[in-house]
Amino acid sequence: MLCASFALVAEPTSKRRPHVVIIGGGFGGLYAAKTLRRADVDVTLVDRRNHHLFQPLLYQVATAGLAATDIASPIRKIIGRNPNTTVLLAEVLRIDPAQRRVELHGELPPLDYDALIVAAGVRHDYFGHPEWEKYAPGLKNLEDAMAIRSRTLLAFEHAEREVDPARKAAALTFVIVGAGPTGVEMAGAIAEIARQTLSGDFRRIDTRSSRVVLIEGGPRVLASYAPELSEKAKASLMDLGVEVRLGERVTLVDERGVQLGSGERINAETVVWAAGIAASPLGAQLGGETDRLGRVKVAPDLSVPAHTEIYAVGDLIAMEQDGQALPGVAQVAIQSGKLAAQNALARLQGRATTPFRYTDKGSLATIGRKRAIAQVGKLRLSGFLAWLLWLFVHILFLIGFKNRISVFINWAWAYFTFQRGARIVLTEGAKNDRP
């Protein structure tokens, strides 16, 4: 039955309505599909995972604050009832712009398209050192989050039974590389786990003596924020006991920890990578120019200049606005996904397309309990008020009523008890546990 559905999609374009293929079920792809739900076209959304992930809260899964199901929703549940939309669980093998065709892994028939919207996002980048990934996982999907959660919680277990002082110290040392929003939020959350959540749970170690080190190559944390907010974020991190190392470069990551450009060695059992990203390799297959990060240089209407039926959105686009590169945030993905869908439909109908103009609705980052910063236009907030705004905005944009209720309850419980409700480490996650 599934193959029959594919074959129908792959029929020659003259025998069917215009066919729009969307690659990726993140914010960009999801909002593109929603925009086309009433259009006179057939839509196929392809993703190798069956769920949409609310990326801004992924770090809370990695730090045991939320369960995976709290921030993920099945793609079929979100858009599967759109009468013109087919959702395919598949992985894209290659894109052939000349033939207007998307080839899939396995024995699945290819998808021919009249318009293609690529929202494939980004992946981790280790600056030419892919071998570092196994020692310092990044945070882009639920698998990453569960792996980091396991490493973090098991590190305390290793320290509890370790008799060698040096190895005990390494088990209680956590290094986060990169002080963007993900790195800052991870550092603050791990510090709270050590100093609040796990305090008193162990008999042979004092988790409050744990060392959390945040390493940033630039001159300040959260460099995309106003300097005064960066300073407040740094102060909040230091109040939590986080060591903030600015202007430091990591030159080596191995099974024992990291080495810095200054020559200093930090032995740590847990290293989290939040320093670099690169665009999906699919960006290089769209027949256009790419920048050094693999992002696609698009026309003002988000189309690929050499193939105007192809659109790139979200983190995949290399575009400047008012002399500044567009940030890799959810709002860029949402807004570009909507416009790409509108422009694809306009071009199919012979109408003029519209240039993309990003509307910055503000930026928020949390450092920990009652600590956050907010930048909305000229408004600058920090502390408890910014934290309340952060809570409200993230619940508001979370997809799924059940998820909103679950997250709200978890946060309320954590606020009053200082506990985290997702501390279970499954056997699969603990398979590399030391004997």
Catalytic residue numbers? 185
**What SS3 string covers the chain?**
CHHHHHHHHCCCHHHCCCEEEEECCCHHHHHHHHHCCCCCCEEEEEECCCEEECHHHHHHHHCCCCCHHHCEEEHHHHHCCCCCEEEEECCEEEEECCCCEEEECCCCCCEECCEEEECCCEEECCCCCHHHCCCCCCCCCHHHHHHHHHHHHHHHHHHHHCCCHHHHHHHCEEEEECCCHHHHHHHHHHHHHHHHHCCCCCCCCCHHHCEEEEEECCCCCCCCCCHHHHHHHHHHHHHCCEEEEECCCEEEEECCEEEECCCCEEECCEEEECCCEEECHHHHHCCCCECCCCCEECCCCCEECCEEEEEECHHHEECEECCEECCCCHHHHHHHHHHHHHHHHHHHCCCCCCCCCCCCCCEEEEEECCEEEEEECCEEEECHHHHHHHHHHHHHHCCCHHHHHHHHHHHHHHHHHCCCCCCCCCCCCCCCCCC
Tokens, residue 240: 């939590």
CA of 428: how far to CAs of 3, 142, 144, 425, in Å?
Answer: 33, 14, 13, 8
Q: Which amino acid is at 76?
A: R
